[in-house]
Structure 1
């Protein structure tokens, strides 16, 4: 989509702006955008609330962002706390913090460090996350995924003591993909072609076609080979 010649939106301090179609959007401070917004780039720093749907080619957020509708972005970098009330979609998500999506989430490439919570289906081409807390998704469908745990720091030790929400692990009902490599994951069913169940995993049932590797520190109740 060509957005040349469109006006830019710049918000500084504590302010409210209207939705619309823009070239570049820059928000610094405490801001609220009323209505849907469609832009080439969005750069948000501070505490930002966008009440409608958001669409952009690129987005960079540092702070706390709330999106009241759907979020559709080509490339997005999130550093902080992000809440999406609708559906999220994009090509590349680079996460450094916590993201909560109430609907489905469809991303071609999803990597970074932090925590994700998806109430619907998480559909990803390539998923590579280092967990800093308890991540959740009802169902996960991927081509390939790697789940690891960030090395414990003073920060993580403090917060894990205060709340189990900060215990680094992934919880899901079903995980399905081609190449699956998990650590510190709790799931009812893991289904894949090549599957690695690493340390800290508790899985009710693993279905694999060609290869299954299991760490001695993992627990699997049932293993089923479905390939020839």
Structure 2
């Protein structure tokens, strides 16, 4: 530990270290660290393994190793390229997921980008949600703009937003190969939005103003206000105009 210009301590782990929670400038984990209690810091960098028994509050976090938080997390910017487990709620301004993130509570922020795997037991709320990976939302996925490029299985109980766009993997050679190994499908009970475009989607209810059901969809009920288009390779049991 050493003092910085702001008279806050830096907490640096090399090897196996146990430490107490508190207010720090920088937390840098290169080995194995356990922090008992709540942690407030300007930045967290984890290239090893860290376990925090309380809450985590700070400005920025970058996880390249494994981080386990037993309480709530509130960060401005977060980048995860390893494994992050949060036992409670996760709040953020910007979240980039290049690895694996598991949240037992709810998620809320402004911008979400998923290129790895995201799983939350509760709701996920954001201004913009972009996924080019896999995700599982136990509750409602709600965002002003939702853009999904299917790579693997994606699911949510409900989806809501002004603009919702779900597309399958492209026609590139890599995309064609991925189709044989991955279940590139979105499974959701209810989708509700203003403008909706769907591919490779299974849903009970799709409700919107302008709705376009692209290829390889299975929808029980579509309710639309202005217009609805259907690809011949999709199945819709019932379509009604409100």
- Matched with 2:178 is 156
Contact 1:11 1:17 in 2 (8 A): no
34-43 or 5-14: bigger deviation: 5-14
**Residue-by-residue CA offset, 1:84-137 (whole Å, 9 max, x unaligned):** 010000100011011111011111101130111011111111000111111111
**Structure 1 position 17 matched with structure 2 position 35:** yes
* Runs of 4 or more consecutive aligned structure 1 residues displaced over 6 Å after TM superposition: none
Report which of the two structures shows the higher radius of gyration computed on alpha carbons.
2
After alignment, is 17-26 or 148-157 more displaced? 148-157
Deviations 1:31-72 (A, max 9, x none): 212210100111111122111110011111101111111000
Q: List per-residue Cα deviations over 1:148-202 (Å, max 9, x = no partner).
A: 11247387356x3xxxxx3001011110000000000000100000001000100
Tell me what 2:14 maps to: none
Cα distance in 2 for residues equivalent to 1:148 and 1:206: 18
SS of match in other structure, 2:233: coil
Q: CA RMSD in A?
A: 1.6
Checking the alignment, whether the CA contact within 8 Å between 2:46 and 2:66 is kept in structure 1 is no
Question: Do the aligned partners of residues 212 and 157 (structure 1) sit closer, same or farther apart at CA in structure 2, a change above 3 Å counting?
Answer: closer
Match of 1:188 in 2: 204
What stretches of structure 1 of length at least 5 have no aligned partner?
161-165
1:124 aligned partner: 143
**C-alpha distance in 1 between matches for 2:145 and 2:155:** 17
Q: Which sits farther off after the overlay, 17-26 or 189-198?
A: 17-26
Aligned to 1:163: none
SS in 1 for 2:178: helix
Please, what TM-score do these two structures have when normalized by structure 1?
Answer: 0.90
Using the TM superposition, name which of 54-63 and 145-154 deviates more: 145-154
Q: Structure 1 CA distance, aligned partners of 2:178 and 2:69?
A: 30
Aligned position for 1:138: 157
